[in-house]
Amino acid sequence: MKKLILTLIAALGIVSGAQAAEGGIAWDKAPNKTNDLASLQNGAKIFVNYCLSCHSAAFMRFNRLKDIGLTEQDIKDNLLFTTDKVGETMKASIDPKQAKEWFGANPPDLTVIARSRAGHGGTGADYLYTFLRTFYRDDTKATGWNNLAFPSVGMPHALWQMQGDRRPVFEEHESHGHKTQVFKGWQQVTPGTMSPLQFDQNVGDLVNYLQWMAEPAQNTRIRVGVWVLIFLGFFTVIAWRLNAAFWKDVK
């Protein structure tokens, strides 16, 4: 019995450690605008320009972007590299061998990242929205960057020129003889090309696109589901009245 209890305590410790590694701070709520075509189009542009160089989206084809209001010509003119074709999947331009040498592992495919990263802190979109906005300079890391939502991440800050350089501000708390660092906010070191509000809006657009890409039919599914529930409710009333009429003379 004692051995079982110790095993359970160890398992709980492993889970707690995994959760701490998954997110060092509380996740911010991501804007949910998967019906906003302008937001999705801007997110697709940011994804192609800043993410697709390292991360693939191997289960998404460029021509599927017509579902968010882009024409085939728009896709060819603004979102394709010279060697890509509109019917091809979104493949990263980086060499996998080089990526492994530079980052220690191949960058993950992002097709369904917004669904796979959901956890105790919120949805996958919440995680991505927090992760992309919490990078900071760290000269002790190989990439020169670290992240509060994913400590010791091997990925550099791809959007740093937009956001500029920031450093996290911590406050030391002491409890029961143990000192802990509590995150209090950010201090802007050098400005980026965007204001903090503009940067958050653009990251929100990128996360919206990633959320849409993870399930392009989600809005159609929800819309059809609402009509199905309305039909079932209406049919239930009709069936109930028919049943009452059929059995009214039966005693």
Binding residues: 51, 54-55
The β-bridge partners of 147 are 135
Annotated binding residues for heme c: 51, 54-55
How far is residue 234's CA from residue 237's CA, in Å, rounded to a whole number? 5
Q: Which of 158, 157, 166 is nearest to 184 (CA)?
A: 166
From the list 25, 26, 31, 24, the residue with the least C-alpha distance to 200 is: 31
Pair type for strands 164-175 and 178-191: antiparallel
Residue with tokens 């410790």, as numbered in its chain: 13
- CA-only gyration radius of the chain, Å: 24
Residues with Cβ within 8 Å of 244's Cβ and at least 6 positions away in sequence, in order, are none
Q: Tell how far CA 212 is from the center of its chain.
A: 10
